[in-house]
Amino acid sequence: MVAEWKTRQQVPQYVFDAIRALPRDSHPMVMLSVALLSLQKDSKFAAFYNSGKFNKMTAWEYVYEDASDLVARIAVIAAFIYNLKYRGDKQTDIDPKLDMGANFAHMIGQSEQYKDVARMYFILHSDHESGNVSAHTTHLVHSALSDPYYAYSAGLNGLAGPLHGLANQEVLDWTLKFQEKYCKGVEPTKELVTKALWDTLNAGQVVPGYGHAVLRKTDPRYMSQREFCLKTPGLKDDPLFKLVAMIFETAPGVLTEHGKAKNPWPNVDAQSGVIQWYYGLREWDFYTVLFGVGRALGCMANITWDRGLGYAIERPKSVTTPMLEKWAAEGGRKLA
């Protein structure tokens, strides 16, 4: 499969032209979404549907073709965007000997060690359940038989929201401010962090990166990143990682005692930004692009299965005006 992806990773020049046509200060997620939409003109699934020979039994084969092309190219496109925005448009060619993560690291001028970071990051963010916004949006849009480029561009637009993929950026911002306010150059002790967390909660603020809508235990993706940090010389002794590690040891107990958090355990966002920061990738608004590159792996596999299983179009339930009036009178809809 890796060898096949390498035959597909050459990105058409018109995609780069479309990105360059955008204002340079456009958000990198806008650039990524536009780039995938521009690839739609070469969609094999769309061509099959428009050929007059569309067959539901073989439709998945054409989704698979588009999905493979998209996954093979998205990291190359992401590297181009990073270089365009943050490295003075210094572009580096693909190294055909390298895998997806290593090639991305190579193209953005990162260290040899960062190749493992990229591999880990893309795999951990690939997909963990289809109920999240980006994965579900991709399912929803493709259920209308929109091709994978339309579908995943829409999924990326959902991922860009502050309650979804943007969360890792917000966690890092909070952690840096936490370090500046409470640590002031000293080693973060359990006593110091406990007091700081209570100050945060008593001020009506939350602890970003803790809690998850589905999981009721420590996110295994968090633990994978933690193990990576602990095994990496230099990173395990980094002051910011030490603070994150102490928050991990302290926050669940504080949040449990506080009583308002249903899940006091860290999620994937609680640490991912810290690793990028350590390796010098400090452009926060690019972190969601990294998330989007990884998430493509799961979303493209999912919609290929959708077509193989012949899923119907999604139709959400409707509500009536009296229902809306009732919920408004009650102060909001009470969900089960």
174 and 305 within one domain: no
266 and 198 within one domain: yes
Residues 6+ apart with CB under 8 A from 183: 192, 239, 243
- The upper half-sphere exposure of residue 213, i.e. CA atoms within 13 Å in the direction of its Cβ, equals 8
Sign of CA dihedral 281, 160, 218, 139: negative
CB 293 within 8 A of CB 107: no
**Is 269 noted as a catalytic residue in this protein?**
yes
**Is 136 noted as a catalytic residue in this protein?**
no
158 and 223 within one domain: no
Domain hosting residue 297, numbered range: 2-164+285-309
Domain-located, residue 188: yes
199 and 110 within one domain: no
Nearest alpha-carbon partner for 298 in 143, 178, 131: 131
Q: How far is CA 147 from CA 50, 51, 113, 176, 302, in A?
A: 12, 14, 36, 41, 13
43 and 160 within one domain: yes
Domain-located, residue 317: no
For residues 162 and 280, give the distance between their C-alpha atoms in angstroms, rounded to a whole number.
23
pLDDT value of position 335: 64
CATH of the domain at 252: 1.10.230.10
Choosing from 66, 127, 269, 306, which is the catalytic residue? 269
Choosing from 164, 238, 258, 285, which is the catalytic residue? 164
Domain-located, residue 325: no
Say how many domains are in the chain: 2
**Among 278, 296, 321, where does a domain finish?**
278
223 and 262 within one domain: yes
Choosing from 142, 212, 219, 306, which is the catalytic residue? 212
210 and 144 within one domain: no
147 and 295 within one domain: yes
269 and 204 within one domain: yes
Find the length of the chain.
336
Q: Write out the DSSP string of 231-287.
A: HSTTTTT-HHHHHHHHHHHHHHHHHHHH---S--SB-THHHHHHHHHHTT---GGGH
**Is 125 noted as a catalytic residue in this protein?**
no
Domain-located, residue 323: no
The backbone torsions φ and ψ at residue 210, rounded to the nearest 5 degrees and listed phi first, read: -115, 135
Domain-located, residue 328: no
For residues 319 and 254, give the distance between their C-alpha atoms in angstroms, rounded to a whole number.
41
Nearest alpha-carbon partner for 150 in 80, 78, 66: 66
CB 24 within 8 A of CB 85: yes
Please list the pLDDT of the chain residue by residue as tens digits (336 residues).
677 778 899 999 999 999 999 999 999 999 999 999 999 999 999 999 999 999 999 999 999 999 999 999 999 999 999 999 999 999 999 999 999 999 999 999 999 999 999 999 999 999 767 778 999 999 999 999 999 999 999 999 999 988 877 778 888 888 888 888 888 878 888 998 898 889 888 988 888 888 766 667 788 898 999 999 999 989 999 999 999 999 999 999 998 898 877 788 888 888 888 999 999 999 989 999 999 999 999 999 999 999 999 999 998 888 899 999 999 998 887 764
